[in-house]
Amino acid sequence: MIRLLLTTALSAAPALAAAQDWTTFNGDPEATKYSPAEQFTPENVETLERVWEVRTGDVSDGSGDLPQSVWSATPIYAGGLLYFGTPFYRILALDPATGEEVWSYDSQSTLEALTQPALKNRGVSYWTSGEEGVCESRIFLGTMDAHLHVVDAETGELCEEFSDGGILDVNQWNTTNDRWPLSLLQPPTIVNDHVVIGWAGMDWTYSEAPPGTLFSVNARTGELEWEVNFIPDEIREQTGTANIWASMAADPETDMVYVPVSSPSPNYWGGNRTEDIPLATSVTAIDAGSGEIVWSRQLVHHDVWDYDTNAAPALMDLTVDGETVPALVQTTKQGMLYVLNRETGEPIFGWEEREVPLEGAVADDALSPTQPFVSAPPPTNDLENMPGVSRLADVLSGGQCSRDLDTYLYEGVFTPPSEQGTFLYPSTVGGMQWGGPAVDPRSGIAYVNSSSIVDVLTLIPREEYERITSENDNFGGGESGYYPQEGSPWGFRLNRWFNWAGMPCWEGPYGTFSAYDLNTGERLYEVPFGVTQKWGFYMPDDWGSPTIGGPALTAGGVIFIGASMDARVRALDAATGREIWNDLVAAPAVATPAVFTHEGRDYVVFTVGGNSILKPQVADQIVAYALPD
Amino acid sequence: MRSLALFSAVCAAFALACGLYVAFAPDTGVTGTPGAWLVVAGAAACTLVALLRAFRWPGGDNALLLALCGIGMALTAIAAWFLMQPAIYVALAYAFVLWIAEIAIGGREVRA
């Protein structure tokens, strides 16, 4: 029945009249990751061929002078060219048919890991006026040191009329707690002539950090149009972040932008910010013309779990009880999918403020006694119970995993961080990650990959933290898991729940792929996705894999996705989630692929960069696939 | 010379060569991983043992020693299976079967 529903939705619905480009990080302004390309079907996708492959040279494994690179740049296909940002902050324009370089631009940006443990880039943005001429179409590249470079899309030459000779210093607006630059790792979101700029920072280090801001500049001149502050004025100096580091969605017809707002700082203690911060950990709708907040819906109150809203909401129209509803779906780290009316922010399905546990919370914080839960769709992760203990890991650890259950707290998704130690499930890396969902705008069906990871978080009193980290030279995080939250009474330690041999103490599957009918809130299927790999050994298929990066959906009913730990890119049958095709690439492909039609031929292009959260394997590979000629 | 042991050595040597390839070549999915090195070491040991059995076996007909060598081949094949390297695990499976045949048949031939 479900297959019939999906097959009907995928094949019989009228194709939308849309250009078969891939013009944003999420495919289109609405962040659907849907391509009208029809050549790929579940029946023929097994015959995919690698038509070209490029190595950019912009890669570092961290063993030399440069920090490690993390490359998650979904390519942009627009105006007949394919555009990439690289982790060395260059722009590449390639011929989509051959992979040959048409031009490149080097921002000459510093290659220091100023705010992140690695050099990161998630790509570029594209704007066009629709006219012919120099800089009438532009590519925007952000850098770790907070500069936005704007070049002509045809030549790669700087657009001189934009800001200061084609380069905008966004850090000029970093005026409160400016401990680090406003890193531009996620490409800006462009709605009409507004370039909407969020930023990333250095989480887990400071309590007082740059407070969350969103800027809009004019696409031609770079002049500041508006700025939105996400932390109330009276407490801006005593906290920070609540920023937008992930991608956003936009509706060009209504000139609206929909933004996922992250949690305030510090991430795991909120005693310095007990006042209400209603815009933090929210999805917020903003008028891109004026910067006015039209509505906002908070998804976590007084967030002390680092449950940043971390992906662009996807916009689509749904049919609910026979009526067409303008909607969005917001996927989250905490495993819930929030389906909202995008004009009002009102939930389309049931919304409940439910009491959550407070026992174990540290005395100098003031947690919210309730948190919002939705009645539908069902979450990707069980929000009341952790996965069971892995027998294999438990036996091999002499019962360590079982003993941990008695040591650490867990009473569901919002169990307070504690000095005793708290299991975080879903963990700080999800649930669902910044890849977000792919949505079929014809049917209202959403597809999403999710991880099942258990972390252990322990708050450590400042004095003890200083002693531990000075004795062990563990200060500042990294593999040790110690992070300072400087300026708060608590440092913390955050680790995966592994046994001594590095095996997960919890049962799989560690990653799944799901489809949801957003018209009804039903889950249509959930299947293990990807393959976990440890020391080179591949684990059984039904264990799945943690994932980073999202799926892309085609009109022909095929899902393309990298995302998994085992460095394979895959094609799935959208109707069932069944894997149809895969290919080995140089590292985990932690970028959403791009699907487009160029000169009559459909292509899917994967950026293969790796991410140390999955495994320490990096690359600089771009791979394009198409059906045989 | 014991021909079954020699054939077993050839299969194990082929597995060793494939193991070295996947351990060193880029983008094999297991390049430079501990699992790949484990299989290389296992295949090398299997090759050496089979060659010794073929030409100059110091262990006599010590059943325990022969059985342990066979178990080593089987475990190395299983490790290669978890690396998703069919060329290696198929070659090691052949090496294992030939080794068992050598113990069962070759031993009797020698005694006869």
Per-residue model confidence as pLDDT tens digits over A529-563: 999 999 999 999 999 999 999 999 999 999 999 99
Mutate to test the interface with B, among A535, A583, A617, A618 (most CBs of B within 10 A): A535
> Given an 8 Å threshold on Cβ–Cβ distance, is A536 in contact with B35?
yes
Coil/strand/helix, residue A228: strand
Q: Which amino acid is at A282?
A: S
Q: Does A536 touch chain B (CB under 8 A)?
A: yes
Contacts of B83 in chain A (CB under 8 A): 536-538
Q: Enumerate the residues of chain A whose CB falls inside 8 A of the CB of residue B29.
A: 533, 536, 566-568, 584
Say how far apart CA A60 and CA A619 lie, in whole Å.
Answer: 8
Q: Which letter does DSSP use for residue B86 in this model?
A: H
To 10 degrees, what angle do helices B34-55 and B63-82 make?
Answer: 150
> Strands of A224-229's sheet, edge to edge?
A189-191, A194-197, A213-218, A224-229
Burial degree of B9 (CB within 10 A; 0-12, 13-18, 19+): buried
Q: Are A249 and A331 in contact (CB under 8 A)?
A: no
- What digits encode the pLDDT tens for the residues A273-310? 999 999 999 999 999 999 999 999 999 999 999 999 99
Q: What is the pLDDT of residues A484-494, one digit of tens each?
A: 999 999 999 99
Is A537's CB within 8 Å of B83's CB? yes
The residue annotated as part of the active site, out of A145, A306, A394, A404, is: A306
- Average model confidence (pLDDT) across chain A: 95
Interface test with B, best of A59, A538, A606, A608 (most B CBs within 10 A): A538
Indicate yes or no: CB of A535 within 8 angstroms of CB of B29. no
Q: Is the pLDDT of residue B112 over 60?
A: no
Contact A600, A65 (CB under 8 A): no
What is the band of B83 on the pLDDT scale with cuts at 50, 70, 90? very high
When pLDDT is averaged across residues A306-335 and rounded to a whole number, the result is 97
Position A190 scores a pLDDT of 98
Q: Which residue has the tokens 């080794």?
A: B99
A623 in contact with B, Cβ within 8 Å = no
Give tens-digit pLDDT for A404-460. Answer: 999 999 999 999 999 999 999 999 998 999 999 999 999 999 999 999 999 999 999
Give the Cα-Cα-Cα angle B9, B12, B15 (nearest 5 degrees): 155
Q: Which pLDDT score, from 0 to 100, does residue A613 have?
A: 86
In this prediction, residue B107 carries a pLDDT of 58
| Chain A residues touching B79 at Cβ < 8 A | 537
What beta strand segments (E) does A312-434 contain?
A: 314-320, 323-331, 337-341, 351-355, 370-374, 422-424
CA distance A159 to A165: 7
**How many angstroms away from the CA of A593 is the closest CA of chain B?**
19
Instruction: Report which of A123, A76, A83, A80 is spatially closest to residue A101, judged by C-alpha positions.
Output: A83
Rg of chain B over all Cα atoms, to the nearest angstrom: 14
SS (H, E, C) B4-16: HHHHHHHHHHHHH
Q: Which residue of B has its CA nearest to A615?
A: B33
CA nearest neighbour of A250 among A331, A192, A332: A192
In this prediction, residue B12 carries a pLDDT of: 97
- What is the reported pLDDT for B109? 53
Q: Is residue A3's pLDDT more than 80?
A: no
Domains and CATH numbers, chain A: 100-454+497-554 (2.140.10.10)
pLDDT at A348 over 70: yes
Please list every residue in chain A whose beta carbon sits closer than 8 Å to the beta carbon of residue B41. none
B82·A585 Cβ contact <8 A: no
Q: In this predicted structure, what is the pLDDT of residue A20?
A: 87
pLDDT digits (tens, 9 = 90+) for A492-529: 999 999 999 889 999 999 999 999 999 999 999 999 99
Q: How far is B36 from chain A (nearest CA, A)?
A: 7
Asked if the C-beta of A63 comes within 8 angstroms of chain B's C-beta atoms, the answer is no
Alpha helices (H) along B1-112 = 3-24, 34-55, 63-82, 86-101, 107-111
A99, A119, A118, A96: which is closest to A109 by C-alpha? A119
In this predicted structure, what is the pLDDT of residue A508? 94
| Helix H or strand E segment including A394 | helix A391-396
CA dihedral B27, B30, B33, B37 (to 10 degrees): -110
Task: Tell me the domain boundaries of chain B.
Answer: 3-111
Positive or negative torsion for Cα A276, A280, A284, A290: positive
pLDDT band for position A473 (cuts 50, 70, 90):
low
Which positions in chain A touch B30 (Cβ < 8 Å)?
Answer: 536
What one-character DSSP code corresponds to residue A476? T
Q: What was the pLDDT predicted at A479?
A: 62
All residues at 6 or more sequence positions from B34 whose CB lies less than 8 Å from its CB, including other chains:
A535, A536
| A613 vs B74, more confident | B74
> For residue A565, which residues of chain B lie inside 8 Å, CB to CB?
none
DSSP state of A401: H
The answer to whether A4 faces chain B, any CB pair under 8 Å, is no
- CA A57 – CA A534 distance, rounded (Å): 27
Please give the residue of chain A at the shortest CA–CA distance from B25: A586
**Catalytic residue check, A28:** no
Q: Which residue has the higher pLDDT, B65 or B32?
A: B32
| Whether A226 contacts chain B with CB within 8 A | no
Separation in Å, CA of A449 to nearest CA in chain B:
22
User: Could A537 and B29 be called an inter-chain contact, meaning their C-beta atoms sit closer than 8 Å?
Assistant: no
Amino acid at A55: R
Chain A contact set for B27 (CB, 8 A): 584-586
Distance from CA of B27 to the nearest CA of A (A): 5
Mean pLDDT of A313-339: 97
**With 50 as the cut, is the pLDDT of residue A11 above it?**
no
Which residue reads 């040790």 in tokens? A480
Contact A586 B79 (CB under 8 A): no
Mean pLDDT (whole number) for B90-107: 90
Q: Judging by beta carbons within 10 Å of its beta carbon (0-12, 13-18, 19+), is residue A363 exposed, middle or buried?
A: exposed
Interface residues on B facing A, Cβ-Cβ cutoff 8 A = 26-30, 33-36, 79, 82-84
**Higher pLDDT pick, A629 / A199:** A199
Q: Measure A588 CA to nearest chain B CA, in Å.
A: 10
The structure tokens listed for A160 are: 């001189």
**Range A29-41 average pLDDT:** 97
**Closest CA in chain B for residue A583:** B29
* Alpha-carbon radius of gyration of chain A: 23
Q: Tell me which chain B residue has its CA closest to the CA of residue A618.
A: B27
Helix (H, G, I), strand (E, B) or coil at A537: strand
Closest to A41 in 3D by CA, of A557, A481, A412: A557
pLDDT band at A31 (very low <50, low <70, confident <90, very high): very high
Is residue A281 within 8 A of residue A291, CB to CB? The reply is no
CB proximity under 8 Å: A 177-196 to B: none
CB contact under 8 A, A586 and B27: yes
- Of A535, A568, A584, which has the smallest distance from its Cβ to B33's Cβ? A535
User: For residue B78, what is the nearest residue in chain A, using CA coordinates?
Assistant: A537
Taking residues A576-589, report their average pLDDT.
97
